[in-house]
Amino acid sequence: MKSVRVTSLGSGSKGNATVVEYGHTRLLIDSGFSCKALQARLAQRDLTPSDITAILVTHEHSDHFNGVPTFANRFQTPVWMTHGTSLHHRAEKLKTFNILNGHEPFAIGDIQVNPVLVPHDSREACQFTLKAGDHKIGILTDLGHITPFVSGQYQDCAILLLEFNHDVQMLREGRYPASLKARVGGSLGHLSNDQAKEFLQVGEHRKLQHLAAMHLSEENNCSKRVQRSIEEAKLADQVNVLIAHQDDGFDWISIE
């Protein structure tokens, strides 16, 4: 039986990139890192650019898109994004790309890709659930609140990468200007620890084996508060909990 492997190459406001591997397919979700930095981060996971089957772009913000055009053009890697994302000037740097329909699943190699449109302050942001064999992998960051539709799409994931961007108190008392605090904490911003905890409490997560906390704010969050929120969610004892960091993400996790 083929195993599913997932690794984060870095997660946070300075850059994000995730790799999902199943069979002969390796999908890179986003890259806010320079081409050189991305190659170095791939090498740390024993990967080369030629190992990447395709790139899925969630939205046009720089910490997710900046490194995509140079990497894709240089290594002729197919890129998929929504029509809204493709309208941003960063997409003009790509020699070629594919438009995905945010309402229709599609296959890339051995992996079934299900786009999930999310509320975020960008043109047409989407996140993804991925079907690899009998297993479901959920990637859910960069959204301001959980809609019923989003909640329904992320039931029964075996691996879940979930945003824990900020602690409400730290954001409120922190150094950000009022306008940025309103953006981050607003309905089109980023998930707080409390929102992520509630998502875990009310959703159906019986099949969950690995939970990774993603996109932590270096200014308005800390690992201790994230860990406490996850403990309060009272997940099953067998769930392996990781916290992705900006510098090195997290190493490979796998399920058979």
Can you give the pLDDT of all 256 residues of the chain as single tens digits?
689 999 999 999 999 999 999 999 999 999 999 999 999 999 999 999 999 999 999 999 999 999 999 999 999 999 999 999 999 999 999 999 999 999 999 999 999 999 999 999 999 999 999 999 999 999 999 999 999 999 999 999 999 999 999 999 999 999 999 999 999 999 999 999 999 999 999 989 999 999 999 999 999 999 999 999 999 999 999 999 999 999 999 999 999 8
Residue 10 lies in a domain: yes
Q: Which domain holds residue 36?
A: 4-245
Beta bridge partners of 114: 129
CATH number at residue 51: 3.60.15.10
The pLDDT value given to residue 197: 98
Residue 256 lies in a domain: no
Q: What would the 3-class secondary structure string for 13-30 be? A: CCCCEEEEEECCEEEEEC
Residue 52 lies in a domain: yes
CA dihedral (175, 244, 18, 203) positive or negative: negative
Distance (Å, rounded) from C-alpha 77 to C-alpha 213? 28
Q: What would the 3-class secondary structure string for 72-110 be? A: HHHHCCCEEEEHHHHCCHHHHHCCCCEEECCCCCEEECC
Count of domains observed in the chain: 1
The pLDDT value given to residue 1: 62
pTM above 0.95, yes or no: yes
What does residue 129 show for φ and ψ, rounded to 5 degrees?
-110, 145
Residue 255 lies in a domain: no
Residue 53 lies in a domain: yes
